[in-house]
Structure 1
Amino acid sequence: MFNLFILLAERLGIIMVLAFLLVNMRFFRDLIEERTLKSQTWLFVIFSLFVVVANLAGVEISSSKEIIAPLIVTGMPQSDSIANTRVLVITTASLTAGPYVGMLVGLVGGLHRVIFGGFSDYFYIVSSVLIGYLVGVWGDRVKKNNLYPSTLWVAILSLLAELIQMAFIFAFRGFGLIKLVFVPMILLNTIGSSLFIEILKTYLSNERQLRAVQTKDVLELTNKTLPYFRHGLDLDSAAHVCQIIKEYTNFDAVGLTDRVNVLAHVGAGQDHHIANEPVITDLSKTVISAGKEKRAYTKAEIGCPHQDCPLTSAIVCPLQVNKKTIGALKLYFCEQRKMTVVEENLVRGLAMIFSGQLAIGIAEQQTSLVNEAEIRALQVQINPHFFFNAINTIGALMRVDVDKAHEALMELSTFFRSSLKNGQSKEITLEQEKRYVSAYTGIESLRFPNKFTVNYRIDVPETTLIPSFCLQIFVENAIKHAFKGRKTGNKIVINLCSRNQNLEITVSDNGSGIEPAILKRLGQETISESQGSGTALYNLNRRLKGLYGTSSELQITTGPTGTSFRTEIPLKQAKSKSKES
């Protein structure tokens, strides 16, 4: 028994080495994040190869109970048996990909065992399939909301899997074989399954922590650089941004360009990469021309014509607005080296956020040339104070819940993307506006959990057109002003209905109401109050009257049990794509 234990431990080591190599592959880690048909198909293929290896690397046991340890078992007499780690692979497949993949891997493992065993012992097919299914089902039940069960449950399920296998062996091969293999296979396969899953959990945990660090770095840099992008990309803003990035990272040089000239270059090589002079490196010219990220690991790839340029490796990302490249973000090292995943993702994240901020800045400038009232409305939406509060909230969540922080970052991205996309439109669909409201309230809910609920009562199609940011302004006003001193039980109801070929929009809350002195001025002028200026409602009211006439002017009713904002506009539907074409 001891010799068998040592030999099986050696085989287990082979499986563990293969498992370690497997989880180091980004492709495999992406497959286990979410169960889709594609991912489960790939996992079935991968674990099927593993289960075949487990059979081939087994320890043969003759009919006289003599242990035979070839390097690879390719065939054996029907009277012989084999001790291996097949159940370990089936167990981990079930826990990783679910019961159906576990069953299929068990089927492959059982069939392969029967084939090279001289087409004997068909019970291995049944036992392997049964183990794959049961472990997968039990695993899904005990893991709750986690990706995998706890270590204790993994050990228990692995033990149960081996006990099922032992029951089949006892029923069909008798007690003599069980006496020899029971302890080694039970012990090693249970330990092996637990180790395999622990390796996966450790790597995934480290990856989430790495994402948290990357997100935190990007947010810190964004918080510092955001004010400089408010008025576009120029020499002054670029110099400040490059200096901040240089201070917060370990890059040897940081640069920003427009399509033609260097706007700023801080660090190594700044003696010849000079602001307000043409871009001179071939790498930057290629990125600006093609609009695609490029990396370089040698001086020749960077293509700087200055012979003494110290820059040796680089990553250059395009800055794009409305799918047009307007410049590039460049980061360099003076040593010939490949950048880490953290460094690459940091640069990409910065380039994406900078592009978004530049787009917002350009949108503001363009809108100001068209209509002052509309730019006021847009500026209210793109509120730096709200943005900074959101960043602080995400930063706090990093310490306690990385998944919620990631969710909040996606909501913030949706909020600003909608601002950019819809800010130039006088009217957008109800569906678009609801997405924008959802992004806004999602972020506010993270800041103030359980403080408010938003309910819709809608009897018009989601293709109905309404003024852009209309609902969001009402909801924001309620959240900020209606529920003073109340942390729970606050409700906002959004009601849209058709009335005589018009659309009636009503947003109500169960707050404390509006003071009479403020009510008569609200929506008619900006109000100098410590809790807000009323600019958003004032601009919205101006837009409503400008778009639809005085009949659409805001109507406000208030009392101690709440406030309602109402407007009535023409009922219109967005044109379908087929009609537009």
Structure 2
Amino acid sequence: MDNLTLLLIERMGILLTLAFILTRTPLFRQLLDRELHVGTSIAFSVMFGLFGIAGTYAGVVVQGESYLPAFWIFRLSYDEIIANSTLVGVVIGGLLGGPLVGLGAGVIAGLHVFQLGGFAAAPMGLSIPITGLLAGYVARFFSQERVISPSKAMFIGMFAPIIQMSLLLIMAAPPELARTMVNVIGIPMVLTNSVSIAIFTTMIRVALQEAERSAAIEAERSFTIAERILPHLKRGLTPQTAQSAALVLQKETKAAAVAVTDRERLLAHVGVGADHHHPGEAIHSELDMRALYSGGIDKGLTRESVGCKRKNCNLHAAILVPIKEGDSVVGLIKLYYRRPQQIGKVQEALAKGLGNLISNQLTLSLTEQMKGLMKDAELRMLQAQIHPHFLFNTLNSIVTLIRIDPQLARHMTVQLGVFMRFNLKLTASPLVTVRQELDHLHAYLEIIKIRFSEQFAVRTIIDAGVEEALIPPGTLQPLVENCIQHGVRDITNGGEIILHVKREDVHVVFQIEDNGQGFPDNLLPVLGKVPMESKEGNGIGIHNVNQRLISLCGQDAQLHFANKQEGGSMITFTIPITKEVSA
């Protein structure tokens, strides 16, 4: 028995080498991401079924007390049986792909074992698909785990050969031979199959961690590069800003050369080929035109495709990253390489992340510029605006959450969309209902609580009969933001902000209070009356809110600021319940 165990462990090394190669295939990554449908289920069934067949050939033929460690098995005599690792591939298929993949792989591997013959052909062949099916159903208990832990996999792997040995004792004849063979191969198969399954799942986890670690590194690298070149690109695409951006990109990306263009001409070229790629030249290659009009990242893998006509040019490959402002492509960033082989998955991921970040930030910059084109000049200066730090941090949080928690990233994006749509209404209507204003505030709070969920809580108390009252849009959000930035932000936990909206006769009273540090005493007399510059910029927002309340709802609607005796601050204001806009 000891010799058989050692032989199976030796064969297990060959099988696990094949498993290591398998975990590096793109098809296998689809299985980890649970991208399953009929086509992929069939493909995975075949893949793990073939792996199971490989486990059969990695087995040892047992005849009585003797072992025949042949690598190629054609047919078994009646009194022979295979001590094998067939169940490894089938169980892993079931654990990762579910019952259908486990059953499909088991049928393929089981038919192969059955056609090899031997007195145990029927029970051995039948036990394999049954084991695959059961492994698939057991995996549903661990569906919250992306990959089942090795310890759990090992425990499940111990029962797979036990089921096989049980069917062998029940179905195989003669019974004396079946008992003898179970005594010989039972324990070695339980040990080697369970250990192999545990090691296989460990390999899968390592492969997954490597991929996620690499993606995290590239995301951080993209952030660093974007932060360094955005100040240049935000000043517009000129030869000077393009040259500065190209220098940063060439240093950070380690590309052979970097070029920046607008829609018509080359603005800057840094690195290899600078002696014949001159700024001012018209861009004309088919690759350039395709990237400009499609708006997607593209790549060229020949010297001709990247647009160089000089025969001795050392630039033979390039990745093109469109520079977008809104929906419009305004230029290209071209990352050049000496050989096509230098463009791998890492370079493509970096280019994609860089393109998204630059486009998002330039779109944000364009949005800020468009605010200066509002039709009503007076309201244009006073309306509450999205704070650049808030939107920048929100976009960064979304990019980070896409890899860590896609569902939460999707939720945050939806709330940001609601928040953005409401801000667009600022230019269309001078007043909105309290219900709409509260919806806007809740969208903001949904985003904020993802970032500061453990520091503070926001509670709203809304009395009946106030929802249809009219209020200047964007009034509550800057006031709550002020409580966060200057009141409870430095509190590690236990912070609280309370918004109370109540009706008093023909007025609606708004009260926002927090348990933070309160307002500085020297600022209380001037808050809301003059713009207050600060690092977070919220003093201007409060001034704008106050001026719009006075302008649209009357002098009695102005903001009142106070510090509470028990600590914290309070802001109150009152608006009339009316459908008419005050003069």
Give the structure-1-normalised TM-score. Answer: 0.77
**CA shift in 2, pair 1:267/1:374, >3 Å:** farther
**Residue 446 (structure 2) aligned to one of 438, 446, 453:** 438
Select the residue among 208, 216, 229 that pairs with 1:204: 208
What does the per-residue CA deviation read over 1:40-71, in whole Å, with 9 as the maximum and x for residues that have no partner? Answer: 98357514542355247355858867767786
Query: Contact 1:281 / 1:302 at 8 angstroms: preserved in 2?
Result: yes
What is the correspondence of 1:111-130 to structure 2 with a 5 Å cutoff? 121=122, 125=126, 129=130
TM-superposed deviation, 1:154: 3.3
Quick check: 1:521 aligned with 2:521? no
**1:242 and 1:44 mapped to 2: Cα distance?**
48
**Of residues 312, 318, 336 in structure 2, which corresponds to 1:314?**
318
1:22: which partner in 2? 22
1:337 pairs, out of 336, 341, 357, with: 341
Q: Which amino acid aligns with 1:285?
A: M
Correspondence for 1:195: 199
What is the CA distance between 1:301 and its match in structure 2? 0.7
Give the equivalent residue in structure 2 for 1:509.
Answer: 514
Counterparts in 2 of 1:210 and 1:178: CA distance versus 1, 3 Å: same
Displacement of 1:394 after TM fit? 11
Q: 1:154 to 1:211 in 2, by over 3 A?
A: same
**Aligned letter for 1:26?**
P
* 1:133 aligned partner: 134
Residue 46 (1) aligns with residue 44 (2): yes
**Can you list the C-alpha shifts for 1:477-526, whole angstroms capped at 9, x where unaligned?**
11222237632211224567899999986644333544565344333322
**For the Cα contact (< 8 Å) 1:251–1:331, is it kept in 2?**
yes
1:490 equivalent to 2:468? Answer: no
Amino acid corresponding to residue 31 of structure 1 in structure 2 = L
Code of the residue aligned with 1:535 in structure 2: it is I
Specify the SS of the correspondent of 2:523.
helix
Question: Percent of aligned pairs with the same residue?
Answer: 24
- 2:274 aligns with 270
Distance 1:116 1:467 in 2: 82
Distance 1:230 1:94 in 2: 52
Q: Which moved more, 1:561-570 or 1:495-504?
A: 495-504
Distance in 1, Cα, partners of 2:424 & 2:73:
70
Q: Do structure 1's residue 381 and structure 2's residue 387 form an aligned pair?
A: yes
1:166 alignment partner in structure 2: 165
Instruction: Find the counterpart in structure 1 of residue 175 from structure 2.
Output: none
Aligned ranges 1:87-486 → 2 under 5 Å: 87-97=87-97, 102=102, 121=122, 125=126, 129=130, 132-133=133-134, 137=138, 140=141, 146-173=145-172, 174-306=178-310, 309-370=313-374, 371=377, 374=380, 381-383=387-389, 387=392, 423-426=423-426, 434-445=442-453, 450-455=454-459, 470-483=475-488, 486=491
Instruction: For 1:555 and 1:357, locate their aligned partners in 2 and report how far apart those are by CA, in whole Å.
Output: 36
Q: 1:552 to 1:295 in 2, by over 3 A?
A: farther
What are the superposed Cα offsets for residues 247-272 of structure 1, whole Å, 9 maximum, x if unpaired?
Answer: 21211222222222333322233344
Distance in 2 between the 1:166 and 1:565 partners? 78
Contact conserved, 2:419 with 2:440, CA < 8 A, in 1? no
Contact 1:503/1:570 (8 A) holds in 2: yes
Contact 2:261 2:331 in 1 (8 A): yes
- Is this contact kept in 2: 1:62–1:81, CA < 8 A? yes
Partner of 1:538: 543
Match for 1:234: what amino acid?
Answer: T
Corresponding residue number in structure 2 for 1:579:
none
SS of match in other structure, 1:147 = coil
SS of corresponding position for 1:383 = helix
Can you list the C-alpha shifts for 1:187-220, whole angstroms capped at 9, x where unaligned?
Answer: 3212321221121111111111101110111111
Find the counterpart in structure 2 of residue 85 from structure 1. Answer: 85
Q: Secondary structure at the match of 2:341?
A: coil
Q: Which amino acid in the other structure matches residue 491 of structure 2?
A: R
- Following superposition, the deviation at residue 319 of structure 1 comes to 1.9
- SS of the residue 1:257 aligns to: strand
1:340-365 residue CA offsets vs partner (Å, 9 max, x unmatched): 21211111211111112221222222
1:513–1:560 Cα contact (<8 Å) kept: no
| Cα distance change of structure 1 residues 361 and 263 upon mapping to structure 2, 3 Å threshold | farther
Q: What is the letter of the counterpart of residue 455 of structure 2? A: K
More divergent stretch after superposition (282-291 vs 542-551): 542-551
Asked if structure 2 preserves the Cα contact closer than 8 Å seen for 1:218 and 1:349, the reply is yes
What amino acid sits opposite 2:389 in the alignment? N
Q: How many angstroms apart in 1 are the aligned matches of 2:553 and 2:418?
A: 23
Write the distance in 2 (CA, Å) between the matches of 1:69 and 1:186: 18
Structure 2 CA distance for aligned equivalents of residues 388 and 245 of structure 1: 23
Q: Is the 8 A contact 1:47 1:89 kept in 2?
A: no
1:69-116: CA deviations, max 9, x gaps? Answer: 786768768876443323212332344345775567557755775677
Contact 2:398/2:409 (<8 A) preserved = yes
Give the 3 Å change call, closer, same or farther, for CA 528–123 of structure 1 in structure 2.
closer
Give the counterpart letter for 1:42 in structure 2: T
Larger Rg: 2
1:322 Cα deviation (Å)?
Answer: 2.9
Q: Is the 8 A contact 2:384 2:541 kept in 1?
A: no
Q: Provide the C-alpha distance between the structure 2 equivalents of 1:378 and 1:40, rounded to a whole number of angstroms.
A: 52
Q: Which runs of 5+ in 2 are unaligned?
A: 173-177
Equivalent position SS for 2:305: helix
Q: C-alpha deviations, 1:418-439, integer Å up to 9, x for none?
A: 7876654417966565444333
| Aligned partner letter, 1:162 | P
Distance 2:507 2:165 in 1: 74
Instruction: Return the alpha-carbon distance in structure 1 between the equivalents of residues 274 and 503 of structure 2.
Output: 64
Where structure 1 has 5 or more consecutive residues not aligned to the other structure, the ranges are 573-581
SS of structure 2 residue aligned to 1:300:
coil
Deviation, 1:134, is 6.1
Give the whole-Å Cα distance in 1 for the aligned partners of 2:578 and 2:127.
65
Q: Distance in 1 between matches of 2:151 and 2:408?
A: 33
- CA 1:511–1:336: 2 relative to 1, 3 Å: closer
Kept after mapping to 2: 8 A contact 1:269/1:309: yes
Q: CA RMSD in A?
A: 4.8
Given that 1:509 and 1:564 are in contact with CA atoms closer than 8 Å, whether structure 2 keeps it comes out as no
Structure 2: distance between partners of 1:89 and 1:462 = 62
